[in-house]
Amino acid sequence: MAKRDYYEVLGVSKTAKLDEIKKAYRKLAIANHPDRNPGDKEAEERFKEATEAYDVISDEKKRQMYDQFGFAGLDGSNGGAHDYSNVYRDFSDIFGGGFGGGGGGFEDIFSSFFGGGGSRSQGRGGQRGPEPGASLRYDVEIDFKDAVFGSKVDVAYSHQVGCDVCSGSGSQGGSGTKVCPTCNGSGQVRRNSGFFAVASTCPTCNGSGRVIENPCTECHGSGLKRKQQKVKVTIPAGVDNGSRVVLRGMGDAGANGGPSGDLYVYVNVKNHKYFVRQDYDLFCQVPISITQASLGAEIQVPTIDGQSIKVAIPAGVQSGKMLRVRGRGVTKLNSTDRGDMYLKLLVQVPKRMNSKAKKIMQDLAEALGEETSPTPVPFED
């Protein structure tokens, strides 16, 4: 048989883009895959032919050579001498999971291509490859202080776990699988539609060719069931809004021996009445009096720890001045170090004074050589 033109094999034009080429190859590969057509020599030939054509046409360099020089432009390894019987393992990018191992990727693409169900929860497929479980998200809201020092939170959620009745196998009493009675193991059913026979994925086994002999009555053959779960999650000191804690393997269980997903606990931190946080530093406003600002003072300031510390106010300090108190901020993640606390001093002018205070103020103004012309407070607030 004369070698057919690669474009003709794939059924695409000479100007076809990679997307189109991939699609065309996938169609051919699925229809003619050896696993799908056991013992069918013609299908196997078509599969090899399509794979060889795809190998060349999907590769920019090889394609250019082929376009210019035909088969002669390709070196020995691409000229047809190469054995393509195993090459389908290398086309994983097209088929997602690839054909290797349990053939999960193939099953998936096969199902989606033919519009089959393919959902593992239907639990009919006995021979499907391992599928990883889904990862789950859980949101918690914690107090400001708990983010600063860390805490433990209760998380209650539901996830899929392996069925304890059948140990996740989906079958009763370890009965295992048998050849699917609907498709006799081929994974496909043919329906006569006038002149043509139309093939589609077997609905009983989802194309796997096998079904569970005696499905477990607890999980109906899926091997999985939902379970309410309660866990205490340690929120480390230093977390902030949007931080997440990952609990490996606490998501949904995988199917057919696939790994479990993870549980992501997202942290949302409530605001504090006095403190505002920036990274690991805390900021708060501290009102001081005009005399404290003028003469200097030692004041008591509350910290996030719930303690009270002494802070020295230097004489002559201006309103808006920031003072830093080291090590009184937020505990840093995975560390015992702490950020700092910043105090913004706000000088308060007295709204009312008794006559003695007024007299002293007037004397002060005189001593400083300042003009004052006291008038009654124009408005009350």
**208 CB neighbour count, 10 Å cutoff:** 26
- Piece in contact with Zn ion (CB under 5 A), picked from 13-21, 69-77, 178-186, 313-321: 178-186
In whole angstroms, the minimum distance from the beta carbon of 208 to Zn ion comes to 7
Using the 8-state DSSP alphabet, how is residue 360 labeled?
Answer: H
Which residues ranging from 11 to 30 are in contact with Zn ion (CB under 5 A)? none
Q: Which is nearer to Zn ion, 202 or 304 (CB)?
A: 202
Q: Which is nearer to Zn ion, 56 or 219 (CB)?
A: 219
292 binds Zn ion (CB under 5 A): no
109 binds Zn ion (CB under 5 A): no
Length of the chain: 381
Determine contact, residues 227/251, Cβ cutoff 8 Å.
no
Among 106, 85, 104, 86, which Cα is nearest to 94's?
106
- How many positions of this chain bind Zn ion (CB under 5 A)? 12
Which two tokens mark 143?
A: 């107090």
Among 3, 104, 103, which Cα is nearest to 52's?
3
In whole angstroms, the minimum distance from the beta carbon of 262 to Zn ion comes to 24
Exposure string (b/e) for 262-280, b if CB count within 10 Å is 16 or more? bbbbebebeebeebebeeb
Q: Which is nearer to Zn ion, 55 or 131 (CB)?
A: 131
Instruction: Please tell me the distance from the alpha carbon of residue 195 to that of residue 108, in angstroms, as a whole number.
Output: 29
219 binds Zn ion (CB under 5 A): yes
In whole angstroms, the minimum distance from the beta carbon of 11 to Zn ion comes to 29
165 binds Zn ion (CB under 5 A): yes
Residue type at 373 in one-letter notation: S
Which residues ranging from 181 to 210 are in contact with Zn ion (CB under 5 A)? 182-183, 202, 204-205
In whole angstroms, the minimum distance from the beta carbon of 202 to Zn ion comes to 3
342 DSSP β-pair partners: 283, 324
Q: Which is nearer to Zn ion, 56 or 166 (CB)?
A: 166
In whole angstroms, the minimum distance from the beta carbon of 207 to Zn ion comes to 7
Instruction: List % helix, strand, coil for the chain (3-state, nearest 5).
Output: 25, 25, 45
Q: Which is nearer to Zn ion, 148 or 183 (CB)?
A: 183
Secondary structure element (H or E) that encloses residue 283, with its range: strand 281-289
In whole angstroms, the minimum distance from the beta carbon of 191 to Zn ion comes to 14
Question: How many angstroms separate the Cα of 366 from the Cα of each of 294, 349, 370, 374?
Answer: 16, 18, 6, 13
- Piece in contact with Zn ion (CB under 5 A), picked from 76-84, 133-141, 158-166, 358-366: 158-166
Q: Which residues bind Zn ion (CB under 5 A)?
A: 163, 165-166, 180, 182-183, 202, 204-205, 216, 218-219
